[in-house]
A and B are shown apart, each in its own frame.
Chain A
Amino acid sequence: MAHSKLSTKHLLGIKYITADDINLIFQTAENFKDVINRPIKKVPSLRDVTIANLFFENSTRTRISFELAEKRLSADVVNFSAASSSVKKGETLLDTVNNILAMKVDMVVMRHPAPGAHHFLSQNISANIINAGDGTHEHPTQALLDAFSMREQLGDLKGKKIVIVGDVMHSRVALSNIICLTKLGAKVKVCGPPTLIPKHILSLGVEVEYSIKKALEWCDVANILRIQLERMDIKYIPSLREYSMYYGVNKKLVDSLNKKIVIMHPGPINRGVEISSDVADSDQAIILDQVENGVAVRMAVLYLLAGNRSN
């Protein structure tokens, strides 16, 4: 009998949930994916639940995806976004959030530039907290939707080979993906310039491959990361031109492989940098499926966590 409840009150990161939790989220997301493909896309599951979306960092797709997921569950939604961190403006994170919670909010979806910001919040407020990205730490719902999308293509991920390409160092998507995929039994390699691969990455149970060609030849799925220039305080690569030439995934490279691999990208895409347009728009790429699944997976997470509310 599968579990029917998550083991946790918050979704702070993939590392704090179990493989059973992940599978429960997937099962629930499958049901919600059916729902959002019906003519009437809305269910009343979270009626009377108020959710605040707090975005202390820019976001388009994650914010919209969460908001849609919330609305399709009939939750009441408030949005807060600050282009820069509230700390820089003078108000502390805790004060900002407490002000919003004073308006009787049940759940908080937050994106914040500081690793561990959600931990800090969870120790200080009572609402359920969902991490929509905390700096270079985790982005758990992205990892869940990525794994869910891979599962749709390949079935059970146990033993499947996944390569994560690019700026692993600055990527919360990479870290959450690695933790999620290894929990599900997949084999994971990372590939990118050595300055963008953390020195101790092997401790996460992954392998490192510096050659993009070899990495792609090995894998079933390539998840290609965005080069995050905004997170680089110093230059880790000499130029985008060189990166694109030696780590960019283009049609010629993909066609030279002896099998058809699945291409993924968490978005937003730097077309012509880490991935060429003809690959991004090809039938091997499931980038838009990822976006669609994002709504279903986030509905599942919100629905299951709402079931674990303290009151």
Chain B
Amino acid sequence: MKYLIKDCKIIDKQSKLNGKRVDILIEKGKISDIRKGIKDEKAKSIKGKNLCASVGWMDIGTHLGEPGYEHRETFESLANAALSGGYTDLATMPQSLPAIQSKAQIKNLISAGKSNGIEIHPLGALSNDLKGENITEFVDMHHGGAVGFTDGLKTVEKGGLLLRALQYVKSFDGVILHHPNDKSLSNEDLIHEGAVSTSMGMKGSPSLAEELTVYRDVQLNSYAESKLCIHLVSTSEAVTIIKSQKKKDAKISAGVSYLNLIKIDEDLATFDTNLKVKPLLRTAKDKRSLQKGLADDTLDYISSNHMPLETEKKHLEFPYATHGAIGLETAFAALNSFTTKNLELATLIDKLTTGPRNVLNIDTPTIEVGEMAKLTIFDPSATWTYEQSDVMSTSRNSPFIGHTFTGKVIATINKDKVYLNP
């Protein structure tokens, strides 16, 4: 099957064609032609009013359903959610049942991705059974294809353990991903501590719980002379610390969840459990700092922070609901709808393509004739509504169900897998 993408603008900072409007012909999973006015009657054409094409998007920190939580997400539903949201590549969290901590499991995930049309780049567990006590078999998992090691959104409490992990990955130039949050300060992460938590009568988690951990982590990395990615920051001060540290230590990277670029603590006034997420939604000032942090490259990537959860874990009184929201299907549309006043489209795309790949030492594909086709085709001006019946994930825990967005993914192409959104 051949596909012809008509009149699309290339958004790819690394490409010579960046900003140009062209046609792209895809044949047998490869880009066979790029120029204006391609005609090929045998090819299925992909058209739109204001089409753009970028390298296929990559997510860091997607939570899996399989193995163990098939009722939340299967590999098939995960792949469909990803492709529908424009993602060709996912670096997945080790939080399955059992946790991902062996070479065999890593290989299995990679193969499950392939058979469902996406590329899974597994992150292995940092500590055995995610218990925060001893490091796992990093080298073996690395040889199986693990792209980094993390305990997911579970913070490593012991500085000594994180230090050993940072030291141990140096033998293969590996990377440790760590989510910063001091549990002893964070009051169960119910809500950000501030005026909103006070008026809602809940003990909040101060920004300090994140900032102190970020500070500790960058110091540990500097001591270990290793490679650390601070996965998902939410506070203004964390951005400041990272910005200053990056000047001294080029091996520090950091990411942000898309919800933190859009929503703030005030949005929790109605106790919406689909906005009960980690990291916590903070203030308007924090949101603005995170946006600025992306624009000045303090922050390297935007994560969908996709966490599928069954209704029984979310349709509850606020304190009892589990943290997390699905995000793959809505990350781009929500970012494009709500952040473009402060963030250029080219920046957003960079943080969904090159940014995450650089963090994990993964080569970014190029949009050139002869290269394999790894493309996301989107229309930033198209409007659509995210209906409950459209949700591709097995889970429904999204704060955006029923919401109308501006900005739509039209097609996602991962080699010979071509996914067209209705």
- Most A CB within 10 A of own CB, among B199, B201, B206, B316: B201
Note all chain A residues with C-beta closer than 8 A to B194: 200, 203
Q: Chain B interface mostly helix, strand, loop or mixed?
A: loop
Interface pairs (29), CB distance under 8 Å: A15-B199, A92-B312, A92-B315, A92-B316, A93-B316, A94-B315, A112-B317, A114-B318, A114-B319, A115-B200, A115-B201, A115-B271, A116-B200, A116-B271, A117-B317, A134-B201, A136-B202, A137-B200, A137-B201, A169-B203, A175-B201, A179-B199, A198-B198, A199-B193, A200-B204, A203-B195, A203-B198, A204-B198, A204-B199
B195 A200 Cβ-Cβ under 8 A? yes
B203 A200 Cβ-Cβ under 8 A? no
The smallest beta-carbon distance between B190 and chain A, in angstroms, is: 8
Note all chain B residues with C-beta closer than 8 A to A117: 317-318
Binary flags per residue of B166-198, CB closer than 8 Å to A gives 1, else 0 = 000000000000000000000000000111011
Bound CA span A93–B193, Å: 27
Residue in B closest to A139 when the chains form the complex, CB atoms: B201
Residue in B closest to A116 when the chains form the complex, CB atoms: B271
The smallest beta-carbon distance between A210 and chain B, in angstroms, is: 18
A115 B202 Cβ-Cβ under 8 A? yes
A111-164 contacts to B, CB under 8 A, are 112, 114-117, 119-120, 134-138
Q: A200-B195, A203-B199 are in contact. Are A87 and B320 (CB under 8 A)?
A: yes
Size category of the binding interface on chain B: 20 to 34
Bound CA span A204–B317, Å: 24
A136 B203 Cβ-Cβ under 8 A? yes
A120 B316 Cβ-Cβ under 8 A? yes
Whether a CB of chain A sits under 8 angstroms from the CB of B270 is: yes
A114 B201 Cβ-Cβ under 8 A? no
Note all chain A residues with C-beta closer than 8 A to B312: 92
The smallest beta-carbon distance between B373 and chain A, in angstroms, is: 45
Closest 6 A/B residue pairs (Cβ): A116-B271, A137-B201, A203-B195, A114-B317, A116-B318, A117-B317
Whether a CB of chain B sits under 8 angstroms from the CB of A172 is: yes
B271 A119 Cβ-Cβ under 8 A? yes
Residue in B closest to A87 when the chains form the complex, CB atoms: B320
Note all chain A residues with C-beta closer than 8 A to B315: 92, 94
Bound CA span A252–B201, Å: 34
Note all chain B residues with C-beta closer than 8 A to A92: 312, 315-316
Q: A92-B316, A136-B203 are in contact. Are A120 and B271 (CB under 8 A)?
A: yes
Whether a CB of chain B sits under 8 angstroms from the CB of A286 is: no
Bound CA span A198–B206, Å: 11
Note all chain A residues with C-beta closer than 8 A to B197: 198, 200
A115 B198 Cβ-Cβ under 8 A? no
The smallest beta-carbon distance between A191 and chain B, in angstroms, is: 17
Note all chain A residues with C-beta closer than 8 A to B318: 114-117, 119-120
- Most B CB within 10 A of own CB, among A94, A179, A199: A199
- Most A CB within 10 A of own CB, among B195, B315, B318: B318
Whether a CB of chain B sits under 8 angstroms from the CB of A186 is: no
- Most B CB within 10 A of own CB, among A169, A172, A203: A203
The smallest beta-carbon distance between A13 and chain B, in angstroms, is: 9
- Besides A198-B203, A200-B193, 5 other A-B contacts (C-beta < 8 A): A115-B200, A116-B319, A136-B203, A198-B197, A201-B198
Residue in A closest to B187 when the chains form the complex, CB atoms: A233
- Most B CB within 10 A of own CB, among A94, A137, A169: A137
Note all chain A residues with C-beta closer than 8 A to B193: 199-200
A190-249 contacts to B, CB under 8 A, are 198-201, 203-204
Bound CA span A71–B198, Å: 36
B320 A172 Cβ-Cβ under 8 A? no
Bound CA span A58–B316, Å: 21
Residue in A closest to B312 when the chains form the complex, CB atoms: A92
Bound CA span A200–B199, Å: 9
- Most B CB within 10 A of own CB, among A114, A136, A172: A114
